Amino acid sequence: MLMMLLIPLAATIVIELGALLFMGERRRKVLLASVAMNVLTNVPLNLFFIHVDERWDTLLVGEALVVLTEALCYRKLVGEWQQAWIYSLLCNAISFLAGELLVMIVFLFTSY
């Protein structure tokens, strides 16, 4: 159970830090806040998804709430709404899609 939370969390942190660095973000407080935001949003979302409701619509609503929450946090850090939304949307879209791609690849290779 613990690994079902830690592996996606670690992957999300690495992917989103990489995305921020790729977008040119170098401020330590923003990068560290990204790690904190992911711990505070990824773990509860995954726990809810695993134990309460595993439907896709629930996951998408949860992801939308994560994007909104992180955008609000980034707004406090970077001072601009546009940059906050870009950071939140791109980081979460990239990490979500990378995770889904990884699941598909694992499923493909384990189904034979």
State how far Cα 25 lies from the chain centre.
Answer: 17
Looking at the 3D structure of the chain, how many domains does it have? 1
Segment 25-41, tens digit of pLDDT: 999 999 999 999 999 99
- pLDDT at 50 (0 to 100): 87
Q: Which domain holds residue 73?
A: 2-110
- The more confident residue out of 42 and 53 is 42
Alpha carbon distance 3, 66 (integer Å): 21
Prediction pTM value = 0.89
Q: What is the pLDDT of residues 75-94, one digit of tens each?
A: 999 999 999 999 999 999 99
Distance CA 61, CA 65 (A): 6
d(CA 37, CA 39): 5
